[in-house]
Structure 1
Amino acid sequence: MRKIYQDYLIRDWQESDRTAAARVIEQVLQEYGLPWQPREADLDVIEVESAYLNVGGQFWVVEHHGKIVGTAAYYPIKRGNKGVEIRKMYLIPEVRGQGLGKYLLQELETVIAAQGYQEIWIETASLLKEAVQLYETNGYQRTTGVETQRCDRVYFKILSI
């Protein structure tokens, strides 16, 4: 996958992105006072191959002038009906507020729907106010069943077939 949004390159993750992608996620979590958990909730960004690529998911990075400034990913889950979970959708502060998050979410939805999935699930934390607003204004419904310790909200969306 390779897309351009304004002057951002959104592309598939490569092995050489591991450290930079992890740093983006760690930076954003720390900004909001949430713990970076490389052996628990964030193990998937350390082990992208087994957590995403080998199970039918995808992991994308967002580049700006050669620097990784964001991430977005999804993988199939057993929850729901033909469901996937969007994970690791993070943007560093300097690139927020330009519609990039909305664009990433729409691109994820398009790719997910094209692969025949019917539901998208997202877990997040109330502290991530921009993320909560993004999901709520794009048709995601709040539900119950948080599975990730640092999260306190779960959303889902049924894709139109």
Structure 2
Amino acid sequence: MRRVCAVTQDDPLAAPLLAELAVEYSSRYGGSADEVRRDLITYPAAEFASPDGALLVVVENEEPVAGGAFRRYDETTAELKRIWTAREHRRRGLGRFVLAQLEAEIARRGYRRVYLTTGPRQPEAVALYNAAGYTALARDIELGIGRLHPFEKYLVPGAPADAGEPGTYAGHPG
């Protein structure tokens, strides 16, 4: 049986998500898994809390198998973070399921646009966002790990597909 749980960053259901993300990120971008995990668990938890954000964990047979979070980016935009599927549960559509759950919650909170960045060493994430209807933004963002790839998706029917760079929302007054 599958259920979706809204949790806090320090909830035991979130622990496997953060631990595996730390291993994944450190193996792709460097640093130790402990250092990355420390960064993840000391991130301001309030950013992923209601009313502006959420951290969702998908549980099957009492085991956390996937999850993701969002936070407020600006008045009309939520930013996706920490999309994750447990290694032993990949290739089952759980990433897409998490994305759909997050988008539904984002829409319920009144956001009209979703923004995200993904790293240069995560081609499976790029494929997921492309398949889910996200649009790659024209300009990458340079960070110490390489160039982050920004994406956006409008949740409002008829919203412009090309509204400019993040922070510029043509046709979307506050």
**TM-score, normalised via structure 1 length:** 0.77
Structure 1 residue 77 and structure 2 residue 82: aligned?
A: no
CA distance in 1 between counterparts of 2:37 and 2:134 reads 28
Structure 1 residue 117 and structure 2 residue 74: aligned?
A: no
Structure 1 residue 137 and structure 2 residue 125: aligned?
A: no
**Partner of residue 49, structure 2:** 53
- Give the alignment's Cα RMSD to 1 decimal: 2.5
Q: Return the offset for 1:121.
A: 0.4
Tell me which stretches of 4 or more aligned residues in structure 1 moved more than 6 Å. none
Structure 1 residue 88 and structure 2 residue 82: aligned?
A: yes
CA distance in 2 between counterparts of 1:136 and 1:46 reads 31
Is the Cα–Cα contact under 8 Å of residues 55 and 76 in structure 1 kept in the other structure?
no
**TM-score, normalised via structure 2 length:** 0.72
Q: Deviations over 1:3-37 (max 9, x none)?
A: xxxx4432111433253332121133245x22453
Percent identical across equivalent pairs? Answer: 21
Unaligned runs of 5+ in 2: 158-174
Greater relative CO, 1 or 2 (CA 8 Å, sep 6+): 1
Is the Cα–Cα contact under 8 Å of residues 48 and 59 in structure 1 kept in the other structure?
no
CA distance in 2 between counterparts of 1:137 and 1:152 reads 18
Q: CA 1:82–1:145 in structure 2 vs 1: closer, same or farther (change >3 Å)? A: farther
Q: Aligned pair count?
A: 149
Is the Cα–Cα contact under 8 Å of residues 66 and 84 in structure 2 kept in the other structure?
yes
Larger radius of gyration: 2
Unaligned runs of 5+ in 1: 1-6
